[in-house]
Structure 1
């Protein structure tokens, strides 16, 4: 098999099955990335969702014997939706970040990679292959940067000339010796809009991210959201797009050709009060196909309460009282207590006092006490 000719066939096939960009990277170690990841750990900036073994993240040979090449792919996703419903009093809405619009991108990219694997094995039956999307050991962005998909930007995204940073990434390790692609030049220049506008200051100079301060990370946690970040979450129920929407390289970038990622406006801008009514079963039935559902309903419902406070939605007070007194989840009761403290009302104060006498969970007691103190000020 002529590897150079086959590489061109593979590129053509990738485009034929709807892959927007494909690039090829050397499987050499990633020493610069290793140093950055070690620093992230030392500073306490890691999210905890990543592969903990930094060696596996930076040395492809640890993942596939004889690996020579990493194939990187990118699929574009939309930045706009048609017929977006409006949020109004009595019918307030949250928002899922664009990376959760349409079908779960993990599923879509894995299907594309599986087709690529099958195509390769027809022509090279002895090829060794290992694919991954997001949750694998490798850094999708580091691979994509080396493979010439785009450059690694200050907002910690890969920016492509064609689609901006609105792309999903996946990769495949192989022992086939494909010719490496040429990496792109960094085009961020002196621009620092994403750094300056990040609501929580999570973006650090040089494209470094403190995940512990990142709203996209905070909306996925299952514990109480730290007090300093609650007001900054706004009406986001999953993820955050601020560092993408302010980026000049994303101006005018909107790709609607990947039908799998077409958003359902009612799902990605959900009504907040009905969101609080979902059981595990109904949540999975409604949102289970979206990437934003991967942590289950608990973080989403907690975030919905925070969003109701953002809107100062006093019509939600009876529901918040019900959650405070009846919900079995301490985080939900604690968040409801905080919300009632923010939406000061006579009935809310009475409910807080009553629950204080009943409550056994320390974190909820603390939130109730602070909410009552706020009401007295």
Structure 2
């Protein structure tokens, strides 16, 4: 079998099926990444969403029998929304990060990888694969970096010369021996913009992320958000793009190659108040197709409450009072109480005083107290 020719044929076919960039690397262990992951674990920087076994994250032979190569793919996604609705008084809006625009990228990339698998099997019937997108054992960024897709930026994203860091990544471990591509040299240089502007200081240094502080991670948590992060959240409902939008390599980069990735403006930038009362069924029907829905409606609703507080939206006071009084979830009641204090006004104060008498949950009572403190004349 002429694997060099097959590699070229795969590259050409990948373009036909909507893969924007493809690279090949060995199935050797990712030793440098192993050291990074161990350090992350020691420092407590992991999000908790990762594969727990570090060895599986860096050694393809532990997750695939007889690996010879890994094929990495990248698909470019849009950075700008067409006809984005404006947020205005009484109609304040939240925002989903760009990686949650359009159809869930896990489905899009898995479809491309499955199509590529079918093609390779048609050429080599004995070919075997294990394809992954984001939730697999291997570290997508490490694979893409070694396969020459791009370099690993200080913002902890793969940055490609063609598309910047606005790319989704996936990979395919296979038993076929392809010639590896050359990794790309780091091109961030002395630029430190992403590290300097990270809202929470989650980028500790170039290429190292404390996921516990990262807004993209925090928006996906389900409990009470620490006070220090609430003020940083802004109107973000899911994810954070700050470290991408400030990157010089992303300037002018906006690609609309894939219809599935085009955002519905009313989904990507939704009105906040309707989110407070959306049912599970409605949430699934409306948002279930986007990647930002994977944790369910609870984090999105909590973040919507914080966003209304960020805007100091007085038109939301009645809605927030309703949540504080009647929502069965303490996180929602408590966050609504805090938001009422943040927005202020006599109606909010009266509602907090009334709820303080009847509320039985200690955490919610603590949030009511925070709200009352913010309402005090000398609260600043």
The normalised TM-score by structure 2 is 0.98
- After superposition, the C-alpha distances for 1:177-215 in whole angstroms (9 at most, x for unaligned) are 001011111100000000001111100113100011111
Query: Post-superposition shift, 1:357?
Result: 2.1
What residue is the counterpart of 1:182 in the other structure?
A: 182
Query: Post-superposition shift, 1:351?
Result: 1.6
What residue is the counterpart of 2:173 in the other structure?
A: 173
SS in 1 for 2:351: helix
Query: Post-superposition shift, 1:326?
Result: 0.1
Q: Is the 8 A contact 2:192 2:206 kept in 1?
A: no
Work out the CA distance in 1 between the residues paired with 2:151 and 2:126.
Answer: 33
Work out the CA distance in 2 between the residues paired with 1:20 and 1:264.
Answer: 22
Work out the CA distance in 2 between the residues paired with 1:162 and 1:209.
Answer: 25
What residue is the counterpart of 1:252 in the other structure?
A: 252
Work out the CA distance in 1 between the residues paired with 2:203 and 2:374.
Answer: 32
Alignment of 1:192-211 (within 5 A): 192-211=192-211
Work out the CA distance in 2 between the residues paired with 1:173 and 1:116.
Answer: 12
What residue is the counterpart of 2:337 in the other structure?
A: 337
What residue is the counterpart of 2:40 in the other structure?
A: 40
Work out the CA distance in 1 between the residues paired with 2:344 and 2:286.
Answer: 33
What residue is the counterpart of 1:101 in the other structure?
A: 101
Work out the CA distance in 2 between the residues paired with 1:69 and 1:103.
Answer: 29
Query: Post-superposition shift, 1:64?
Result: 0.4
Work out the CA distance in 1 between the residues paired with 2:236 and 2:351.
Answer: 27
Q: Is the 8 A contact 2:20 2:76 kept in 1?
A: yes
Higher alpha-carbon deviation: 35-44 or 136-145: 35-44
Work out the CA distance in 1 between the residues paired with 2:240 and 2:19.
Answer: 25
Pair 1:221 & 2:226 matched: no
The normalised TM-score by structure 1 is 0.99
What residue is the counterpart of 1:7 in the other structure?
A: 7
TM-align CA RMSD: 0.9
Query: Post-superposition shift, 1:54?
Result: 0.3
Work out the CA distance in 1 between the residues paired with 2:264 and 2:374.
Answer: 39
Question: How many residues are paired up?
Answer: 377
What residue is the counterpart of 1:364 in the other structure?
A: 364
Structure 1: runs of 5+ lacking an equivalent: none
Alignment of 1:79-90 (within 5 A): 79-90=79-90
SS in 2 for 1:173: strand
